[in-house]
A and B are shown apart, each in its own frame.
Chain A
């Protein structure tokens, strides 16, 4: 069996999102219980999301990560405009 392709990493995804969506803020968390990179949660803040409904925003992210998503089993995403992000931070929301 040939060597497995390099594992997806949170950093790889983060880079793609930052560049692909000209995001001003990206957080990627590997949520796989064993940390073996098949389950991710991302937060993307980008002005590209302005004026776009949620579904469209999420599709942008899905398209950008189309190749990676073939290898990802579980994927959560939050997509915010810079304004929404600022508002959220200002509100001091707690988890």
Chain B
């Protein structure tokens, strides 16, 4: 564990690759973009309507729904991904991501104006952390689910953001991307 910007960072887990990450509207044009994770982390915590894992898991850390499976079981994970149109498994929480890749996902969703999404901090729950990897057959965190379906991690979300696919996928969920309005404003001039 190390400390960065006053936050505990699980260095062994993700190496904290937050350097050179800068995301801007230029990203929409398809140009290669990066996110400035460090500076974003220094900003005020944002309210994203995300509930800490403990709340999602019936508030006392016990298995949700009281099923046999632990929090990492297939049934348990399935319940979590289906509970909300936009679900993110990440390191840290949207107000304080603890990994550059997780932060990138949060910032992309923020750019699109997705205020209401469910975020789970896998660092708080090793069972969930492994369970989610088993469920999606995907080796890394963060993981993004739209309408209960695994969409990918940071790389994929970033590319979907760049090529316009994310706007389309959000539309299918009845979510209008804020970037559409931003473009409209630009067209008006």
Contacts and interface: CB of A to CB of B under 8 A. Distances in A.
Interface in B12-70: 12-17, 30-32, 34
Interface stretch (A8-16, A19-27, A69-77): A69-77
Kindly state the interface size class of chain A when it binds its partner: 20 to 34
Contacts of A93: 30-32
A95 B32 contact: yes
B159 A76 contact: no
Contacts of B137: 59
Given A33-B15, A93-B31, A75 B140 contact: yes
B151 interface: yes
21 contacts: A31-B17, A39-B15, A39-B17, A55-B152, A62-B138, A62-B139, A70-B139, A73-B14, A73-B15, A74-B13, A74-B15, A74-B17, A74-B140, A75-B139, A75-B140, A76-B154, A76-B155, A78-B159, A93-B30, A94-B31, A95-B32
A77 B101 CA distance: 12
Interface of B: 12-17, 30-32, 34, 101, 137-140, 150-156, 159-160
A46 interface: no
Interface of A: 31-33, 38-39, 54-55, 58-59, 62, 69-70, 72-78, 91, 93-95
